[in-house]
Structures are given as structure tokens and as C-alpha cells.
Amino acid sequence: MASPDARQRMVRLAVVGHTNTGKTSLLRTLMRDPEFGTVEDTPGATRQVEGARLLVDGQPLMELLDTPGLEDGMAALDYLDQITRSGERLDGPARIRLFLDSPESTRRFEQEARVLRALSDCDAGLYVIDVRDPVLAKHKDELTLLAACGKPLLPVLNFLHSAGHRAQAWRDTLGRLGLHAIVEFDTVAPALDGEVQLYTKLALLLDTQADLLGRIRDDIALQRTLRHDDALRLTAEMLIDIAALHIACKPDDNAVKQATATLRQLARQREEACVRALLSRYNFRQSDHPAYRLPLQGERWGMDLFHPQALKDMGLEVGKGMAAGAMAGVTVDIFTAGLSLGAAALIGATAGGLWQGAEKFGKRIAGRIQGFRELTVDDQVLRLLAVRQMALITALQQRGHAAQGPISIDEDATPEAAGSGSGSDPTNALVANTDQDPWRKGRLPEELLEARSQAQWSTLTDHYESSARRDSAVRLLARKLGP
């Protein structure tokens, strides 16, 4: 039980409205909790008053009460008129107290009494409206009954993305009833600034609580930015891991098939891990995301030790072990002319422990000399991975926690849509259809090109080595993924 002082520091809101308008859905989205309460298509899913608290820096600043739906407001208002003694002038709250003290408040109008009692005990109410419904007399009577509690009411227009909604009719009716402060908030697909707008308008109605509501509003905006930054970092880490992934094998058919299967499996598993992390960061269930299979059909052969940074690393290591000029010549042989006569000198230097770069690069070069080849993912696969994750992040940002269906990603950003054409390549089709995306064409970001030359950057193999430069590449790549 909260102390009186703790309750005074919190704004208490009752979420009220007709049955089955999305009251519990609103709380799920505001609390970012898909498990709160019960959401069903049938009326009356909520039968009791349930509460949840919103914390900022560990301090509870708001308490939200989820109330049952009003089912018979018309009859309740008629009853209230009947029990008011003739000639007695009572204000709204006094009439509500009379109603709550009456015998019918525990019998016929038990549901309505719970709602009125909760609203009377709160600072304000959020009146949730399903704008798909026509405006009926029962809704007007509900609002009259709720207004009698003497608490500010902020109408919340829900399900605005539905075809044929009646939002304007509701606005006109609310205006005639004196409710001019209205907020649009679709609980299934809220606008990015929907919560900020809601608390901004609440602050107008509750001016004495404006500072506290401002703290909540600012924290919501901050948390949204932090979630987005974290999502970009998770995506950048995945891209670095897969770009740096190298699978070496002998050039015979069986070895190539096995290496290809391993490469694809590792890349798919890494993307799945990224998806799980994104869902968790946005506090959605794993079952919310449809299990699209990534069409990894692009591989490439060759050693990516020709990146300028790799050459620089080689030169630095060479300079420590023996004459820099001589070894630099061998390095250039390896990178520009393949395995030339200079390679024999390199092998000898490696065997004698004179070349400091042997530990990092020696095994890879020695494998190449012995006929081994290195397999990595194609550039188009990296593009596809980036586009898919950015599409998922966008979908998560625009999804309310009351949504019941699977996460919907734009059809141009799904493998199914990308591969729907006859004989089309799903990777190319996906990238080609995202005309506004910088990943569609052009040079890959420098960080991914460098990652190709740094096999030890991939956490997908036993050769992973943490490094400050890898961390820096992840940060820079994350910035390029989104604003």
C-alpha cells in the first residue's frame, strides 16, 4: 500500500469508456507491456479495476487504472436522476456519491459503480473511444455520467487507422459536450510522438501536475531515442559479424558444399539472434515476428586482405620483425600478384618466427598457398540483411503493444515479396525495390569493407578477438544506418 506522500507525488489516471473500446490496449501500449490485462474481441474482457505504475528513474510518477467497460450508462443515468431528491440541488460529485451509496451500486449497476468510484479517486480520466463505432445516445449519457465525477476527461480516439472511421463525428459530438482537448492515439499503431502528445494535453488539463507530466513526457522521448540507438547498434554488430565471417575449405565439390551450408547457417543464426535482441529491446514477444527465411544465395571467394587497413597492419607487424622494406615487398606480392616467388621468403620468415604478423595472417596465407579457399557472404546479402533489420526496426517503432497480429514488414522488405517474380533473384529484387534506401546501390560502408579484411572481428568463429577498432567500426556503422 502506497503511503499518502507517495500517492501525492503520482498522477493517478482512470482509463474509462464503453466496453470493448481498447482501454486495456491503451495501457499495454503506454506501459510497453504486451502481457498486461486481457485483450479480447468480445466485450467485457476486463471485469475488475487493475492498476499499473509508470516509473521514471525508478520513481513511480503515474498510476493508471484499467476499469471495466460501461455497459448500461443510459439506465445508470436514469437511475441517478431518480434517486436525486426533487428540489435538492446537488453538484456532480455529490450526485455520484449518492449513486455509489445506493443499493443498486452493488447489484444492477455494479460495473458502472466500479468505474465511477475509480474515476472519483483519480486526478483525471482517459475516455477511450473506438472511432469505428457510430456516435450513439448511450455514449453521450456515459460522458454525462463521467463528467459528474468532477474530474478532467481527455478523450482518446482509438483505431484511427481503420477504414471508414468516424473520427470527425466524434470530434463534433465531444465539442458540443464541452470536451475540446482531444488526443489521437491508435493503440495498435501509435504515431511516433503519440505518447508525447497525450501527456502534453494532459498537462493542459492538470496544470498543477504539469511539471511531473513534463518529466514523464521528456523521459518517454529519451527512452525512444535510446531504443532506436540500441537497435542500430545491434544491427551494426550483426553486419560486422557477418561481413567478417570467413569459411576456409579445400576446393573440391564436397568441401565447397559443406562450407557453403555452414556459411549460410551461421549467417541465418546471426540474423535470428539480432531479431530476438530487437524484439526484446522493444519489449515485444518473440512470437510476434513471423519466421521469414533469409534467402542467402550469394557467396564470394577470395581473401579480403587487400583492404588498406589490412595492408597498414601488415606493414606495422613486418617492421617489428625484420627489414620493413623487404617484407613490405613480400606483402605487396601477396596482395597484388597472388602467390609469387616472394611468398617463399614469407613462408621462411613465418617459420622462423621473424614475421610478427604470422599469428594474425599467417594461417590464412598458408592455407591459400596449400590450395584452400575462403568463402564469405556476397555484398547483396549484406545489403539484404541491413534492409531487413531496418524495416523491422521501423515496424517495431510503429507498433503498439496491444497489437495481436504478427509484425507486418513492408512487402518490399520481405523475402517473399522480393522473390515473388518469376525467376527473380530474391536478394536483388529486395534491394532494387527499396528505392529510397542508401543500401540499394553504391559502395558498401567503409566499416564493412574493413570488416571483410578482419576475420578476427566475427564472433561467429573461434578466432574472434575483441578490439577497440572493431568497437569503433560498429559505432560508425550504426550512425550510417539511421539518423
Q: What is the CATH number of the domain that holds 188?
A: 3.40.50.300
Where would I find the beta strands (DSSP E) of 200-268? 247-249
In a domain, 216, yes or no: no
Higher pLDDT, 371 or 403: 403
Residues 167 and 272 in one domain: no
Residues 61 and 113 in one domain: yes
In a domain, 303, yes or no: no
As a whole number, the mean pLDDT across the chain is 77
Higher pLDDT, 32 or 2: 32
CA-based nearest residue to 381, from 420, 417, 431, 424: 431
Higher pLDDT, 372 or 325: 372
Backbone angles phi and psi of 36, in degrees to 5: -70, 130
- 444 DSSP assignment: P
Last residue of one domain, picked from the residues 174, 205, 236: 205
In a domain, 220, yes or no: no
Q: What's the confidence (pLDDT) of residue 410?
A: 54
Q: How do residues 385-433 score in pLDDT, each as one tens digit?
A: 888 899 899 999 989 888 888 887 754 443 333 333 333 333 333 333 4
Residues 87 and 134 in one domain: yes
- The secondary element (H helix, E strand) that includes residue 130 is strand 124-130
Domain span including residue 138: 4-205
Residues 389 and 419 in one domain: yes
CA–CA gap between residue 263 and residue 327 (Å, rounded)? 33
Residue 244 has pLDDT above 60, yes or no: yes
Which range, 162-171, 207-216, 233-242, 413-422, has the best average confidence (pLDDT)?
233-242
Q: What's the confidence (pLDDT) of residue 171?
A: 96
Q: How do residues 155-171 score in pLDDT, each as one tens digit?
A: 999 999 888 899 999 99
Residues 37 and 137 in one domain: yes
Count the domains in the chain: 3
Confidence of residue 325 (pLDDT cuts 50, 70, 90): very low
Of 8-12, 101-105, 353-357, 367-371, which gets the smallest average pLDDT? 353-357
Q: 376: how many CB neighbours lie within 10 A of its CB? A: 26
In a domain, 400, yes or no: yes
Residues 281 and 402 in one domain: yes
Residue 84 has pLDDT above 90, yes or no: no
CA-based nearest residue to 118, from 110, 89, 35, 72: 110
DSSP reduced 3-state for 276? helix
Of 180-194, 285-299, 319-333, which gets the smallest average pLDDT? 319-333
Percentage with pLDDT > 90 across the chain: 44
Q: What's the confidence (pLDDT) of residue 341?
A: 37
Residues 67 and 175 in one domain: yes
* 271 and 238 Cβ atoms separated by less than 8 Å: yes
CA–CA gap between residue 244 and residue 240 (Å, rounded)? 6
* 397 and 390 Cβ atoms separated by less than 8 Å: no
Q: How do residues 341-358 score in pLDDT, each as one tens digit?
A: 344 444 444 444 434 444
- Partners of residue 386 on adjacent β-strands: none
Residues 150 and 173 in one domain: yes
Q: What's the confidence (pLDDT) of residue 6?
A: 44
The three grid cell numbers given for residue 314, joined into one nine-digit string: 601488415
Residues 343 and 382 in one domain: no
Residues 341 and 461 in one domain: no
Last residue of one domain, picked from the residues 148, 170, 205: 205
In a domain, 215, yes or no: no
DSSP reduced 3-state for 319? helix
Scan for cell 459536450, then name that residue.
177
DSSP reduced 3-state for 88? coil
Residues 135 and 159 in one domain: yes
- Sheet with 11-16, strands from edge to edge, namely 50-56, 59-66, 11-16, 124-130, 153-158, 183-184
Which range, 42-51, 123-132, 355-364, has the best average confidence (pLDDT)?
123-132
Torsion sign over Cα 243, 247, 251, 252: negative
Confidence of residue 448 (pLDDT cuts 50, 70, 90): very high
Residues 256 and 354 in one domain: no
Of 281-290, 339-348, 473-482, which gets the smallest average pLDDT? 339-348
